[in-house]
Structure 1
């Protein structure tokens, strides 16, 4: 997902006030959807559809609008404001290929500083939050506080992830489809203020002023806030891997009640040599989660097989099956889905699977879904994989002398720094629209405001499930 990190966005087209307002006597805020689509497309698409998952719309456009109203209602019940929040929304063609797509984008339509009752002087606030804090609408008459666009072609055309459209139901029973409600909740959060207006790629502040975000982003290596950094320091912090933490009291207080201990690979044994030690791992979205009772066994490599496009991409031959039986299998990424590899290793009797990345980079998880996989699986970096494979060269076919133990580190929470402050997404290669303005993808449980939508998200915005609302409270909601 890519938020529109624009300081000001004006569109000349007239806004068509089509939607209803969410909120009222039973809700703490009101959110009004402003339909900016032309007739016959987007929210106005007349394509007939069958009701699904509590969404009673009978056309594609109606179901899109009802899903939007449902998501807006969840946010309206979570926030407080005397000023109704207007969301200018549309479904339009966005960047797409057969294998990937931009799901949506959203951001503040305008930003304000030094308005009445502004908590922090000389600081940019997004339009909706500035209006809430001032108690009076700061936006120009008729202008939305939030601009949002979503991909109208997703799954419906051969060049845009064919067969993978948005799930338009309201019940989270999306299976392998992309849950539109979760995407809507994510993008609306950006528009409400889950973004910085300081350019992470250049380090430059908008109009020379910091964003309210900059008051809470802390470089955990130097203990300096973005507020106190120069442009070069902010640029380095934005590509630090795991060097940027959120320092807000509401998030930090909720972290222990939301996030789980960090997964860990411990390596030892008589043949481990210099590879002995602890390794960070990325968790799989399939199979059992790691816990206090570690899964332990000798680490064994899987060799290539004739007719297989990648390691463990087909049923294991006799030699490979003998090697991994009752052991932990080490394979390299590539050639087939992670779930295929895990299933073949499980069939051969492996206790667990470790996937070494085939390209440099930080630790990430393993995607996929297969309820038949019942062994744990994790991912390690290419560098870690090379170190372990070097110690396995002398294995005898059934034993290696290198012992792997997959469990958790109870002293560290996944997605946090050494002081349990939540990490922000700052990959080594800056990703426009994703870097800095998202939570780290290492968080466990998965969070709504990670840079991609995970399959296990609930329609929840507060602890013990999610940290999005605590962050918005930190900046003033």
Structure 2
């Protein structure tokens, strides 16, 4: 049986327009799972008890600190009497959330490792070992040992580490300009505090599947099996090293093609928006792949107005904006975004002067959240997309009227088939690229509040009470082989295609309560596929078999 080690995955800071580290203000409220199968009915104590399936050193130095408890964490529901005890409770709480949503009946061993580092990232994590060609596995495909243990129903790692994790000691000891918030929920804005619970959930998800093969291995990781490359018209796992490298440089080029993820997208993700010029002049306004992130929702009828473009060099805004839609770079909204310095607060000024909506840029590695002091719609988009949009607008007359409206049948961060994009593009760190959702992949808001996707490229939140959610990531984990918590009870429930009542699966229902087979294996599974030509699947040829195993029309 093949065993390999893997480099760590890294959670890094985003960067702003002038390439300075962003100082974000982080918040989190009590986890809202919004109709997920199990955690909605559990108390904090029950969630923490669920973490017992994970094994780790509870006597690690970060958990034994006798320093006074963190006041912010206490305010946010973690009332333990020492800082170390707060950390331990928050760590268990994060693990318990995962265990409450997935069926995990084989122990997952976590090992902490320490080393000197800088303030450029909060934590790193990785799977420790990978396995292939075992029971319930796709042939010649690498699986993290934590998942392989569930598929084989045995400890493949022989009590060795399944997941390595490092919490940056500089953030633990206060050497950086932010600190961890160990709160279980949040009732107020958290100034310069990193949501520890969300961070741990993010890093654990890397160790449980959101990873790629080691550089010296020819066989793909299970996550790679799920990816479709649009410009190559091929599955990512079929490409050679050079082709994979080139594919990753292109923004909005690689989608997660798992069947459960496709099925659940419309239930989980929010509707996207578009900007439409009200003119007969030929225009080339690019699609807005964005997130409406504000406490003020975009009206169903949309917003109609002219565009006012704010100059980045001056960030000056004056006069009565009279219902205009304001286009401004994020560097002109430093106060709202929590950057270093608060000299620019252009979003607030624009709102006060009558703007009807804001379209703004964001760094390539993250999505900006809602702002509690803003009541008009704020649309954020990656910097590269923002520049393309501005260039197209500048080609039209300045008095052109536009409609900012919801985009029917288009989900945020997805392609035309509703498949979520993974994070790709130029100038992205190796640890960020491919292994996260594109920042615009946005779950539906709950109670008019932004819901943070735990596999966004960065774990920071904005100036609002953002809700943590693993909801948009659970289907992807199921596509890779994990089972939802209810799987095996004999009743078909959310995120399940079948349920035989047998955790080992049957010929007609796999161990994770999905129908057997996957698109691209070259075998037509009549229950879920119209066709399957394997490596010859493509989306461009009429009557050919598509990457989703449907016949192209």
Pair in the same fold by TM > 0.5: yes
Q: CA deviation at 1:185?
A: 0.9
Equivalents in 2 of 1:241, 1:344: separation in Å? 32
Q: 1:109 aligns with which of 112, 119, 128?
A: 128
Using a 3 Å threshold, how does the CA distance of structure 1 residues 423 and 383 change in structure 2: closer, same or farther? closer
Q: How many residues align?
A: 415
Is the Cα contact below 8 Å between 1:330 and 1:353 reproduced in 2? yes
Structure-1 residue corresponding to 2:308: 300
Q: 1:46 aligns with which of 66, 88, 91?
A: 66
Structure-2 residue corresponding to 1:79: 102
Q: Does 2:457 align with 1:451?
A: yes
Structure-2 residue corresponding to 1:137: 155
Equivalents in 2 of 1:290, 1:155: separation in Å? 40
Q: 2:440 aligns with which of 420, 439, 442?
A: 442
Structure-2 residue corresponding to 1:329: 326
Equivalents in 2 of 1:426, 1:390: separation in Å? 28
Question: In the TM superposition, what whole-angstrom CA distance separates every residue of 1:444-463 from its partner, at most 9, and x where no partner exists?
Answer: 224211111253653443xx
In the TM superposition, structure 1's runs of 4+ consecutive aligned residues that sit over 6 Å from their partners are: 361-364
Using a 3 Å threshold, how does the CA distance of structure 1 residues 45 and 193 change in structure 2: closer, same or farther? same
Q: CA deviation at 1:437?
A: 1.1
Is the Cα contact below 8 Å between 2:229 and 2:253 reproduced in 1? yes
Structure-2 residue corresponding to 1:311: 315
Q: Does 2:499 align with 1:476?
A: no
SS where residue 103 of structure 1 aligns? strand
Is the Cα contact below 8 Å between 2:286 and 2:392 reproduced in 1? no
Q: 1:60 aligns with which of 60, 75, 83?
A: 83
Alignment of 1:183-198 (within 5 A): 183-198=199-214
Q: 1:343 aligns with which of 348, 353, 360?
A: 348
Equivalents in 2 of 1:447, 1:389: separation in Å? 34
Is the Cα contact below 8 Å between 2:333 and 2:347 reproduced in 1? no
Equivalents in 2 of 1:401, 1:336: separation in Å? 25
Is the Cα contact below 8 Å between 1:353 and 1:377 reproduced in 2? yes
Equivalents in 2 of 1:267, 1:45: separation in Å? 59
Q: CA deviation at 1:123?
A: 1.7
Equivalents in 2 of 1:287, 1:301: separation in Å? 23
Structure-2 residue corresponding to 1:216: 226
Equivalents in 2 of 1:61, 1:459: separation in Å? 23
Q: CA deviation at 1:382?
A: 1.7
Is the Cα contact below 8 Å between 1:52 and 1:168 reproduced in 2? no
Question: In the TM superposition, what whole-angstrom CA distance separates every residue of 1:213-267 from its partner, at most 9, and x where no partner exists?
Answer: 2221111334311222222221122222111111111111111100111121112
Q: 2:258 aligns with which of 248, 257, 272?
A: 248
Is the Cα contact below 8 Å between 2:289 and 2:413 reproduced in 1? no
Equivalents in 1 of 2:311, 2:46: separation in Å? 60
Using a 3 Å threshold, how does the CA distance of structure 1 residues 265 and 371 change in structure 2: closer, same or farther? same
Structure-2 residue corresponding to 1:12: none
Is the Cα contact below 8 Å between 1:351 and 1:375 reproduced in 2? yes
Equivalents in 2 of 1:364, 1:85: separation in Å? 30
In the alignment, structure 1 segments of 5+ residues that lack a partner are: 10-21, 200-205, 393-399
Using a 3 Å threshold, how does the CA distance of structure 1 residues 404 and 281 change in structure 2: closer, same or farther? farther
Equivalents in 2 of 1:71, 1:364: separation in Å? 21
SS where residue 375 of structure 1 aligns? coil
Structure-1 residue corresponding to 2:288: 280
Structure-1 residue corresponding to 2:524: none
Q: CA deviation at 1:414?
A: 0.7
**Could you state the TM-score of these two structures normalised by the residue count of structure 1?**
0.78
Structure-1 residue corresponding to 2:6: 7
Is the Cα contact below 8 Å between 1:182 and 1:457 reproduced in 2? no
Q: CA deviation at 1:47?
A: 1.2
Using a 3 Å threshold, how does the CA distance of structure 1 residues 363 and 55 change in structure 2: closer, same or farther? closer
Q: CA deviation at 1:129?
A: 0.9
SS where residue 406 of structure 2 aligns? strand
Q: CA deviation at 1:274?
A: 4.8
Q: CA deviation at 1:420?
A: 0.8
Using a 3 Å threshold, how does the CA distance of structure 1 residues 120 and 355 change in structure 2: closer, same or farther? closer
Structure-2 residue corresponding to 1:421: 419
In the alignment, structure 2 segments of 5+ residues that lack a partner are: 9-44, 337-344, 444-451, 483-553
Using a 3 Å threshold, how does the CA distance of structure 1 residues 169 and 451 change in structure 2: closer, same or farther? same
Using a 3 Å threshold, how does the CA distance of structure 1 residues 257 and 356 change in structure 2: closer, same or farther? closer
Is the Cα contact below 8 Å between 2:124 and 2:165 reproduced in 1? yes
Alignment of 1:348-367 (within 5 A): 348-355=353-360, 365=367, 367=368
Is the Cα contact below 8 Å between 1:32 and 1:85 reproduced in 2? yes
SS where residue 242 of structure 1 aligns? coil
Structure-2 residue corresponding to 1:16: none
